[in-house]
Structure formats: C-alpha cells, structure tokens
Amino acid sequence: MASIVESLPQGLVSHSQPQKSADTSVLADWEIQAEKCRKVLRESLNPDWFLPARQLPSAEQLNVSTFIETCGFLSTRELEITATSATKLVEQMASGSLTAVETVTAFLKRAHIAHQLTNFATEFMNADALEAAAELDAYFKATGKTKGPLHGIPISTKEHIEHKGRIAHSAYVALVDNVAEEDALIVQCCKEAGAVFHVRTNEPQSVMHIDCSNPIYGTTVNPHNRTLTCGGSSGGEGASLGLRCAALGIGTDLGGSVRVPAAFCGAYGLRTTALRNPYKGVCLPGAGQESIRCVISPLANTAEDLGLFQKAVLDQEPWEVETSLVPQPWKQASPLKPGSFTIGVMWEDGRVLFLFLCLSANCCHSLVRPHPPVLRALRYAVEKLKSAGITVVDFEPYNHQEGMDIVSRLYFPECAVTQKDLLEKGGEPVAPLSDFIFNFAPPRPLTIQENWAFNARRDAFREQYHKIMKNRGVDFILCPAYVGPAAKLGDGHYIPYTAIWNLLDQPAITFPTGLKVEPTDTPYSDFKPRSAEEEREYNKYSPEEYAEAPLALQIVGKHFRDEDTVAAVELVSKIVQG
C-alpha cells in the first residue's frame, strides 16, 4: 500500500507528517506531541480501502468532486448507497432492502478515498462503526424494527466533538493528551437514535478560521477546486459532506463555521438558534463565554435531512441532561406554499464596521460587494422564486455596522488570552490566520462592566432587527453565504455575511444553488472600491482561480423559528435547483 504521504496530492502534506527542524534531525517538542495524533490517524486507516498513488488524480487536477464515481473502486451498489439521502437510507433499512453494515462499509470506503483527495480526516473509527452496524442489523433481524430515526446512518464529526476514549484537542498541540471520558451529549443522542459514527474530521488552528489547516494534520482542501479552502472551522465536515463521505455531519458554528464549509463544498449547513441542540462535550477553549454562544449543528446533502437530524436529537430530550437548554421539541413545520410567506433579499451586507484589520480605535467603514458569480446566483434564485409565485422583496440590512462592532468586542473580550496561552504552551507555529482573527479582539480586555454593556447593546440590536423584519413583513432573508464562491487556501478573512446572524441568534442555513463559477463571471467593468477592505476582497477574485467552485446562498429565519427555516430551505432549494 502507498503511504498516506505518497497517496496525498502534492501540497497537502506540509504538516500531516513530522517535520525536521532546520538545524538538526531532532523533532521539535510540539512535533513530538503532534505526532501522537498523526499516529492515531495512520493506524486508523484501512489499507485495503486506499488507492495506490498511481491511480489517484494528479496534483494538476483541481476538481476531484466526481473522481470517486469514476475511479472504479466502489461498486455500483456502494455508489448508489452513498448517493442516497439519510432520510431514504433509513427508509430502505426499515424495509429490509438495505443493511446497516452495507451502508457503513460503503461510506467508510468512500471516506478513505476522499481523504486521499482532500486530507479531511483526523481519525477513522472503522472497527467501532462496523461493530455498531452489525448490532443494528441483529436488532432489526430480531425485532423487525429499526432502533430509531437514524438507524444505521453514518455520521462524521468535527474533531473537537468528544468521543469516549479518544483524543479531543481542538487543533491545539497543548491539548493532545486530552482524552474524552464520555461521548459528547449530541453523540449520545444520535447513538440512541441508531446513528453510527465512522470518521472524525479536520479543523483549523484556534478553531476560528474560515479555512482548515493546522500544524497537526495539515491542510484540508476543497474537492471542487483544490486551490480553494473547504472552509472552516468545520472544514473537514464540509469536505466530508461535499464528497458524500457521510450521510450526515456534525460541526460547530460561532461565526459561520458550519454554514461556510457547507457553502464552499456544495452541501447544506444549519446554524440553529442557541440552546436548542446539546453542546455538552465539545472541547473548545473559553468555556463559559456566553455573550455570543457557539452552537452545534448538522451538515447534510438535503434540507430534509437537516430536519431528520434535528428531530432525532431533540426527541431524546437532551435538556434533561444539559439543563441550560431550552426544553423545546422539534415540531414539524407546516409545508410552506407560494404566497404564504415573504422573502427579503439582502444583496449586500450593508455599511459594516469591519474590524478585522483594525487593531485599535482607527476603524474603517466598509461595504463589500459580493463577487460577480455570487450576485449572479442571487439574481438567478430571485427570478426562479418569483416565477414560482414566491413573494420576494428587497431587504436593506439594518445597521450591520453596529452589529459587527459588537461582534468584534464579544468574540474575544479578554483579548484572546485563552487561545494565545494555549498556543504558547503547545509551542506550535502560529498561523497567519490565527494572528489575523486574534487581532479582531478589542485593544485591551473588557472590564466586567464593559462586557455587560456590550451584552445590553447586543440584546437591543436583536430586538430592533426582529422588529424591523416584522414591520417590513419579511419572514425570511435570502443573502450571500460569503463574499465569494469560496476563499483561496489561507486567504479567508471576511465573515460578516454569516457572523451577523450568530450575534442576532437567528437560525440560518446555507444551501447549494446548483450553479458554479463560469468563465463568463468576469470582474465588474465599473468596479470602484468604496473601501480598502472591499478592494482587498475584490482583488482576490478571477473566474479562472475560482473555476468549478459551487455557488451557495443563505436563508435566515427568525429567532427560535428553526423548523420554519428548514421548511423554507426545503422549498426554496427545490425551486432554485429545479
């Protein structure tokens, strides 16, 4: 068998194996620690499910999104299984026409090839997954019933979601000796519903980039164009769902970390209202920071599967264990019909106080127009929706400057000291994007009173935004998922299109339009940047460099209207893709 290094495309292995120091043959202390995790990954691989390097696409082949379908490794039956939605897989297993072992094996084989193409995995759980699948098949044979609504469904998880007896380090070398004592609560809920966990996935250093690279495992790339990032911070999950390595995925989202990877990789990503899904058992520095809550949410390949996941989890009543959760079961929303609701279209993100490059009070006001293919996709969606009888109106964003000003203070109210201390303790190189996001912090730590004041501004902003949506008669907002179709590797900086909804704590879903970047998506001929930020973001774009990237959009609902938001995306995505 070719080694993992030999089998990965050129450029994906810069940090996936131990590196020699410049002066000696002795590994640096941080590399010795990181090697523990790399060894776990290597030993988790099944050599029988790897392709020899000579059979893999060359590094020059950027789009590998359909390689697995054509490489001949999976059987026709296995390709059919991995192309099927989670909802339909459960139906087939309930009818007895499909077994859990068949299903899990097909997804495991596919995931191994996908890892060779994108470097998305941190650990395979082959033996545990196949054992769990066999137990499910035995249960079905004995009872004639499925164990639950996720019976036999293979689910991938972001690395920092804990699995009992396995390392959870959140991409910090300082935490590689952290072994979970129990499964994360959401993992427990899914297992109780019959799900099978088979692979864990990569994340960026600090778990705060819309990129996916760290010194432990290296870089995960976008299967549609391997010069582009798969997004972050749940980037491995984006690649996993984009290449159908799992029927469902679980990530976390503080500023777009589920939605951005789903958007970049052609999948669906849900950001729920906070305190709906169980969060207990996520390894993430800064526990107790509640000014903007991180949520744990699913990725899928259909909107219907997002609802399947949500109902299966909340039917377990996780609030009986994690008492901070709102005891709100998942209620099936009534199907939406054209004319019964209104979509407001947000073409641009409004006048944003963009602080990513503002390290002091010398802040810049900016408005960043989406790249040409994103606006093309938005116009296309609007025309399709109008033709289908959906009520669509323009929606001018309300004071996103104020919103992003609050975000900039509340992400790192202590100036990212927690994250910086862990990186110093671990000793690994600090990535440029980590420095970049840490500079998003205020110039000095907030006092307790200042934190309270920003929380009060946050709450007032939320109430005003809800009032404006209500007064304008807008039920959902349709907007870009990101300023561009994706970001180049190591070059994702602009998050306001997703982060604003985290601040507002509104459910939001990114979904594929079925379109991709075309050669005709040429730069705007009349472009005149209104700020340095807009010029920087716009100068990143050319249709050649973003070739084949899928185009996604975002639907935003109202606070705690998660079920309605999923229902809206079910309808909207069918119309737009139809």
Average pLDDT of 234-238?
99
Whether the Cβ atoms of residue 534 and residue 496 lie closer than 8 Å to each other: no
Under DSSP, is residue 340 helix (H, G, I), strand (E, B) or coil? coil
Q: Report the C-alpha gap between 47 and 566 in whole angstroms.
A: 39
Residue 217: how many other CB atoms lie within 10 Å: 28
User: CA-CA distance, 37 to 160, in Å (whole number)?
Assistant: 13
Greater model confidence, 6 or 457? 457
User: pLDDT (tens digit, 9 = 90+) per residue, 359-381?
Assistant: 333 233 357 999 999 999 999 99
pLDDT at 25: 55
Return d(Cα 572, Cα 283) in angstroms, integer: 35
d(CA 533, CA 521): 21
pLDDT digits (tens, 9 = 90+) for 480-492: 999 999 999 999 9
Reported as a single tens digit per residue, the pLDDT across 52-66 is 999 999 999 999 999
Q: CA-to-CA distance for 135 and 192, rounded, in angstroms?
A: 13
Q: Evaluate if residue 357 carries a pLDDT over 80.
A: no
- For 315-350, write each residue's pLDDT tens digit: 999 999 999 999 999 998 888 999 999 999 999 997
Kindly provide the residue ranges of all beta strands, DSSP E only, lying in 125-209, ordered along the sequence.
Answer: 154-158, 196-201
State the CATH class of domain 342-577: alpha beta
Per-residue pLDDT, averaged over 99-106, amounts to: 99
Residue 352 pLDDT greater than 80, yes or no: no
pLDDT attached to residue 530:
87
Furthest CA-CA distance within the chain: 70
For residue 268, which phi and psi values (nearest 5 degrees)?
-105, 135
Are 515 and 528 in contact, with CB atoms under 8 Å apart? Answer: no
Closest among 267, 266, 268 to 63, alpha carbons compared: 266
- Span 447-500, pLDDT tens digits: 999 999 999 999 999 999 999 999 999 999 999 999 999 999 999 999 999 999
Q: Which residues are catalytic?
A: 158, 233, 257
Q: What is the pLDDT of residue 438?
A: 95
CATH fold label, 4-10+29-284+292-320 = Amidase signature (AS) enzymes (3.90.1300)
Share the mean pLDDT of the chain: 93
What is the three-class DSSP state of 227? strand
**Residue 22: its pLDDT value, please?**
41
Where do you find CATH 3.90.1300.10 in the chain? Answer: 4-10+29-284+292-320, 342-577
Segment 166-175 shows an average pLDDT of 99
Distance CA 139, CA 99 (A): 11
Amino acid at 20: K
